[in-house]
Structure 1
Amino acid sequence: MKKYKFLVNASNLHVGGGVQVAVSLIDELSRMTNMVADISVIASTEVDANLKSVNADCLKFASYEVFNTYGLSALWSGLSEKLIGYDVVFTVFGPLYLWSLKAVSIVGFAQPWIIYPDNEIYRSMSFYRRLKTRIKFLIQSFFFRRADKLIVELDHVKNGLVSHNVFASDKIDIVSNCLSSLFLRPQLWTPLINGIEKTKFSIGFVGRDYPHKNTNILPEIKLILINRYGIDVDFFVTLTSSEWDAKSYFFRTNIINVGELGVSECPGFYQKMDAVIFPSFLECFSATPLEAMAMEKPLFASDRGFVRDVCGDFALYFDPTDSADAANLIASFVNNKNQKNIDKFAAARNRVIKFSNPRKRAEDYLKIMQSAAIDCTSV
C-alpha cells in the first residue's frame, strides 16, 4: 500500500478551544507508532508553545514548522507554497483561505454563526454591525465550501450545514470532540502564571470573549446575587489583554481577569474555582463543560441542546438570556447544605472519561484522511 503524505495545518489557530484541540490531536499523533502515512505539521506560535508545555515530541513527524496565518491574509501569506506536495491537507479548524489546492482539502468546521444565522445575538446588533458580521460569515462560508470534505463534532452541526445548503451530507464526517488527555495526566499540569487570590465563593469562565459566549451577563449576575440574595461571589475570566481592555468599566470593576491560559494551566484554574459557568448562546461544541465535569466542579450552564447533549443531568441549567434566572440558580446552589455532592461530581467525571477518547479521535481523523487519499487516487 502506498504511504501517503498528510499535512496537519494548525497555522491559523491562536486562541481558544481550537488551540486545545490542535494540541491534543498533534500530541496524540506524536505518540503513535506504525503510521500509515508520513505526517507533517504546520503549527501556529501558540499551538507550538502549548505542544512544548505538554512535552509533545514533534521530531516524530516527517516535518514540523511553526508558521502563522491570520484570517483572509492567509491568501497572500505564502501558505499555499507550504502545502505543495501533499496528498491530503487537514486544516484542524477552518476555513482554509486558499484559492486552489492540489491536495485533498479536509477542513474542521466549528462556526455556529453559519448554521444558526437567525440567533438572538444578531437581533441585538445595530444594522451596520449585523451587516458587517453577515458579510464576514458569508466569506467564511464561501471558503468552507471549497473544501473537499468537512469534519464536524456533533450531529446538529452536520444537520445545520445540510439544511442551509452549505455542504453535501455525504461529504461531512462526524468525529466527536473530547476531553484532552492532558486532564488525565496531572504531571503535565503547570501553575497559573497569574496567581489567583481567592477569598470568596469563586466561579470561573474559561474561553474567549466572542459575542456568542455571552460574558456580559456575568457582572449582572454578580449584582443580583449581592442585592437580592446577599451573596457575594467572585467571577474569574480568562480573557486576553485586548479583550479585557475592550470590556466596559462596569464589567472590569465587577469581574476578575487572570489573563489568557496556556493549555497546561487550565486544570490549575479549574482547581482554584468552586464552580464553573458556561453562559454561551451558541456553539457547535465546547470542551469547557467536559473539562469542568472532569475536574469535578459544579457547572452552571446555558439551557441549550448543545450543552444538554454533552452534560445530561450533570449540569445545572439556566436561561442564558435571563441574568436573574442564573443568579437564582447559583444562590440556590450556594445556600444548599448538600452542595458538595461528591458522588454526583465523581459520576460526572466518569461520564466524561467514557465520553472522551483523544486517541480514538486522532485515529478517526487519520482514517478519514486515508480514505480521502485512496478515493482521490482511485478516480
Structure 2
Amino acid sequence: MNLVINTTTLSGTGVTQVAVSFIYECIGFPENIYHVFLSKTVSKEIDVYDFPDNFHFYQFENHPLYGLKGFSVRKQLRKLEKLINPDIVFSVFGPSCWTPQTKHVTGFANSYYVYPESPFFKKISFKDVLRINLMKIAHRFFLKRNGKYFICETDDMSKRLSAFLDISKSDIFTVSNTYNRYFEENAISSKKHLLPVPEENEYRFLSLASFDIHKNLTIINEIVPILNDRKLGKNVKFVLTVDPDKYERYFSDEAKAKIINLGRVDVKDCPQLYSECNALFLPTLIESFSANYPEAMKMGVPILTSHYSFAKSICENAALYFDPLDAKDIQSKIEDIITNENLSELLIENGKQRIKAFGNAEIRAKRYLDVFKSI
C-alpha cells in the first residue's frame, strides 16, 4: 500500500503516544510506502533517521483548522495528496479538518461525545459543559464530512460512535489500544526503586494518572477516613503521579498521610512503578480507553476500577468494579481485595487471559494495516 499517516491535528500526550508507537511499528511492515504528516508535537517524538527509505516525512507547523495558517495547511495537504496519490489516508485521531479525495480512515477516541450519561458532566462548570457541547456539534460535522471509515479503541466506543454519527456499523472498526513497548522489555530493576521501602503490612494502590477532573482522584479524601475507622490490619497507601501543586491544593491532610505522590513519571519507568505496587486503582468517570488496564494485566496486578461500560468492555472479568462516587462501596472493594488472596489471584489470572485480546504494539499496527487493506 501507498499510505498517508496524518497526525497534523495531534498535540495531546495520549494520542501522540499512540501515533508515535504506530509509526515506529510500521518499520516492521516494509511492503508498504509510508508518507507521514507530522504535527509539531508528534515531530518531537520522531527521529526520522531511525526509518528506512520507504518512509517519507513532512513537517507541519500549524493546525489545519485555524485561521489563515489553517487554510494554508489544508491547501498543502491537498497538494501533497495529489502528488502522492495514496491508496489510503489514515488520520490517527480526528477530526482531520481536511477531506482527502481518496479513501480516508479516521481514528476516534473522544469519550466526552459518546458518554453523555457520565457523572463527569455534573462535576464540571456549566461553561465547560457548554464548551464541550459546542465542540461536539462542530466535531460531529467535521467527522462526517472528512471521511467515511472510522477506527475506535473498544467495541463499546464503536457502537456509540455509530449512533453519534448515525452511520453504519460496517464502516467502523475496532482496534484496541495496548500497553507501551516498555512493558515488553525487562524494565524492572532489583536495584532501582521509585518508592520508599514499604512499611509493615503496607498495601499500595497505584493510580497512574494526571490530575484531571474525570480521573476522580479526590474521592481518596472520602475513602481514607473510612479506612482509618475500619482498622484493617493493613497499611493502605495510594500511590499518585499528579502535579505537586495540585496535590497540595486538592488533597486533605488526612488523605496525604496515606498517599505517596511522585509527580510526573516517565513512561519508561512505569513498569518499575507497577512492580512496586500491589493493585491498580482507577476511579475514573469517563474514558475512551485507558492503557492502565492492559498495563496492569501485563504486570500481573489486580485492577479496581469504575463500574461503567467503558471499563467493563476493556477489562471484562479481570477487574473488581465499584461505584466511583460512593466512597463506602470503594472502601468495601478495597477490603475485598486486600483480605481475599484468592480473589486477587483470580483477577490476575483473568487478566493474563484478557490481555491476549489486546496484543502488543506490533499486533496493533498489524490490525490497523489489515483494516486499511480490507477497505
Same topology, TM > 0.5? yes
Q: 2:56 aligns with which of 41, 50, 63?
A: 63
Secondary structure of the structure 2 residue equivalent to 1:186: coil
Q: 1:216 aligns with which of 215, 218, 223?
A: 218
Q: In the alignment, residue 114 of structure 1 is paired with which amino acid? A: Y
**Is 2:208 the counterpart of 1:206?**
yes
Q: Which residue of 1 aligns with 2:110?
A: 111
**Is 2:269 the counterpart of 1:265?**
yes
Secondary structure of the structure 2 residue equivalent to 1:280: coil
From the superposition, tell whether residues 71 and 8 of structure 1 become closer, same or farther in structure 2 (CA, over 3 Å): closer
Q: Which residue of 1 aligns with 2:305?
A: 301
* Pairs within 5 Å for 1:334-345: 334-336=338-340, 341=345, 345=348
1:34-71 Cα distance to aligned partner (Å, 9 max, x none): 22x3342525546744x67xx99334552235656679
Which stretch shows the higher mean deviation, 64-73 or 143-152?
64-73
From the superposition, tell whether residues 367 and 333 of structure 1 become closer, same or farther in structure 2 (CA, over 3 Å): closer
Q: Which residue of 2 aligns with 1:38?
A: 34
The alpha-carbon deviation at position 276 of structure 1 amounts to: 0.7
Q: Which residue of 1 aligns with 2:286?
A: 282
Q: Which residue of 2 aligns with 1:129?
A: 128
From the superposition, tell whether residues 159 and 324 of structure 1 become closer, same or farther in structure 2 (CA, over 3 Å): same
Q: 2:296 aligns with which of 292, 295, 305?
A: 292
Give the gaps of 5 or more residues in structure 2: none
| Aligned mates of 1:31, 1:74 — CA distance in 2 | 38
What do you get for the CA RMSD once the two structures are aligned?
Answer: 3.7
The alpha-carbon deviation at position 365 of structure 1 amounts to: 1.9
* Pairs within 5 Å for 1:221-260: 221-229=223-231, 231-240=234-243, 244=246, 248-250=250-252, 253=256, 255-260=259-264
* Pairs within 5 Å for 1:65-214: 73=66, 76=69, 79-80=73-74, 83=77, 84-86=79-81, 87=86, 88-96=88-96, 98=97, 100-102=99-101, 104-148=103-147, 149-186=149-186, 195-199=194-198, 200-214=202-216
Give the gaps of 5 or more residues in structure 1: 373-379
Q: Which residue of 2 aligns with 1:14?
A: 12
Whether the 8 Å contact between 1:121 and 1:212 is mirrored in structure 2 is yes
- Using the size of structure 2 for normalisation, the TM-score is 0.80
- Matched positions, count: 361
1:234-263 Cα distance to aligned partner (Å, 9 max, x none): 222233567x36952538846443233333
Q: In the alignment, residue 95 of structure 1 is paired with which amino acid? A: P
The alpha-carbon deviation at position 295 of structure 1 amounts to: 0.3
- Using the size of structure 1 for normalisation, the TM-score is 0.79
From the superposition, tell whether residues 220 and 19 of structure 1 become closer, same or farther in structure 2 (CA, over 3 Å): farther
1:8-36 Cα distance to aligned partner (Å, 9 max, x none): 426614323x233223322211222222x
Q: In the alignment, residue 234 of structure 1 is paired with which amino acid? A: K
Whether the 8 Å contact between 1:191 and 1:265 is mirrored in structure 2 is no
1:178-235 Cα distance to aligned partner (Å, 9 max, x none): 3344422226x79999933253422111234343322221232233212334554222
| Aligned mates of 1:282, 1:309 — CA distance in 2 | 13
The alpha-carbon deviation at position 277 of structure 1 amounts to: 0.8
From the superposition, tell whether residues 324 and 76 of structure 1 become closer, same or farther in structure 2 (CA, over 3 Å): farther
Secondary structure of the structure 2 residue equivalent to 1:317: strand
Q: In the alignment, residue 194 of structure 2 is paired with which amino acid? A: G
Q: In the alignment, residue 219 of structure 1 is paired with which amino acid? A: N
